[in-house]
Amino acid sequence: MDSLNPSKYLLSAQIQGHQDILNRLCLDLKTKRLPSCLAFSGPAGIGKKLVAKALAQVANCEKPQDRGMACGNCGSCYRAFKNQSESVFELTPQGQSIRIDDARKAAEFFNLQNISPARFLIIDDADLLNVQAANSLLKTLEEPPSNSYIILVTSSLWKLLPTIKSRSVPIIFRPLNLSELKLLSPQAPLWALHSSYGQVGRIENLILWDKQGLRDKATIMLSLLESRSSVSLPSKDSKTFKENFFSSLSHKETSLNLLKCLQSLIRDLFLWRTTQSTDGLLNIDRLPWIQSFNLSFQGSVDDLATELQILEKKLYAHVEGSLAFESFILSITNKNPKKESGSK
């Protein structure tokens, strides 16, 4: 450990946008008013779990600093920084739910002999606790041992089981603003920062989808709807086009990601059509395309939005991607028959 850089292992230094929440919780901890069960709620990928871990680091620091902050250099801070703290148990869902066996293991963590100043059970995606798992934790939630804290992390507070929710104190986190996102992800292009909705955890995925050509595919798909489009709807005759275009859509995940690209482009079209301003546009790098599509697509954005909802339902209902997207294009085209070039 580097004594010249005393804050080297400080988790709080990685936090953007939620320092005020951490400060408040640290103060509560110091004055022994910290509730034993907290529910950290807010959009996914904004740093809620990091705040929970930073709080645990503060609580167990061997040389706490004046303002109740961690030193970032002691053995305990180092282990907390490296996710090796014996004072923290992290419960994460395996698949679509948190099951009773895992919840029991988490409860047992509090039964171990306590050697640290404070212990933290962090339950990630706590809304995925199934009823049996939640029930097995109720006693722990109600009467945790002294200096033991449970932090439920969720992006859907309303989905928490009532028995769990009623036993926790909610802490609401906000999405990150543009300057906070820039600090956390300095290499990311502006469109990805805007499109992340303040969730730094989304940026990497957005860039990946773009590299996979999904935004390009979404613009091509929408261009098929242009009233005077030179591109025509894939037909039985244009087998190659169809095969190329729809080939990757048999994977549900790819289809859903393409859907998200379509949604964000159509949202931008609506904004541009109603305000003629770049304020709030997500795909800011595609402004020329948005402007051009706005002029050439004569149909209503409401129709697009309605058909998008139908498309989304179909994809979640496991309808094959290429069929669902083709049906989306056909439905819009039927509502907006193409005009012959040169005619009225």
Cβ count within 10 A of residue 308: 17
Stretch that binds Zn ion, among 53-61, 186-194, 208-216, 313-321 (CB under 5 A): 53-61
Place of tokens 């100043």: 117
The enclosing H or E element of 123 equals strand 119-123
Calculate ∠ Cα 81-182-276, nearest 5°. Answer: 150
**Integer CA distances (angstroms), 333 to 28, 278, 279, in order:** 59, 28, 30
Stretch that binds Zn ion, among 67-75, 186-194, 220-228, 238-246 (CB under 5 A): 67-75
Instruction: Report how far Cα 260 is from the mean position of its chain's Cα atoms.
Output: 13
Answer whether 312's CB lies under 8 Å from 279's CB.
no
Cβ count within 10 A of residue 182: 15
Q: Which is nearer to Zn ion, 61 or 157 (CB)?
A: 61
Q: Which is nearer to Zn ion, 77 or 188 (CB)?
A: 77
Euclidean distance between CA atoms 165 and 255, whole angstroms: 34
Output the smallest distance, CB 119 to Zn ion, in A.
16
Burial 115-140 (b: 16+ CB within 10 A, else e): eeebbbbbbbbbbbbbeebbebbeeb
Euclidean distance between CA atoms 308 and 329, whole angstroms: 10
Output the smallest distance, CB 72 to Zn ion, in A.
6
Residue 149 has phi, psi (to 5 degrees) of -130, 145
Q: Which is nearer to Zn ion, 38 or 71 (CB)?
A: 71
Q: Write out the binding residues for Zn ion, residues 71-110 only, by CB under 5 A.
A: 71, 74, 77
Residue 221 has phi, psi (to 5 degrees) of -60, -45
Q: Which is nearer to Zn ion, 71 or 214 (CB)?
A: 71
Stretch that binds Zn ion, among 70-78, 179-187, 216-224, 295-303 (CB under 5 A): 70-78
Contact between 61 and Zn ion by CB under 5 A: the answer reads yes
Euclidean distance between CA atoms 205 and 202, whole angstroms: 5
Residues near Zn ion (CB under 5 A), total: 5
Residue 150 has phi, psi (to 5 degrees) of -115, 125
Stretch that binds Zn ion, among 57-65, 148-156, 217-225, 271-279 (CB under 5 A): 57-65
Among the listed residues 212, 196, 218, 207, the one whose alpha carbon sits nearest the alpha carbon of residue 311: 218
Output the smallest distance, CB 61 to Zn ion, in A.
3
Q: Which is nearer to Zn ion, 61 or 122 (CB)?
A: 61
User: What sign does the dihedral 162-168-174-175 (CA atoms) show?
Assistant: negative
Judging by DSSP bridges, how do beta strands 169-172 and 37-41 pair with one another?
parallel
Stretch that binds Zn ion, among 68-76, 186-194, 257-265, 329-337 (CB under 5 A): 68-76
Output the smallest distance, CB 53 to Zn ion, in A.
13
Output the smallest distance, CB 201 to Zn ion, in A.
27
Output the smallest distance, CB 21 to Zn ion, in A.
20
Residue 123 has phi, psi (to 5 degrees) of -105, 110
Q: Which is nearer to Zn ion, 118 or 222 (CB)?
A: 118
Stretch that binds Zn ion, among 30-38, 59-67, 89-97, 238-246 (CB under 5 A): 59-67
- Residues binding Zn ion (CB under 5 A): 61, 70-71, 74, 77
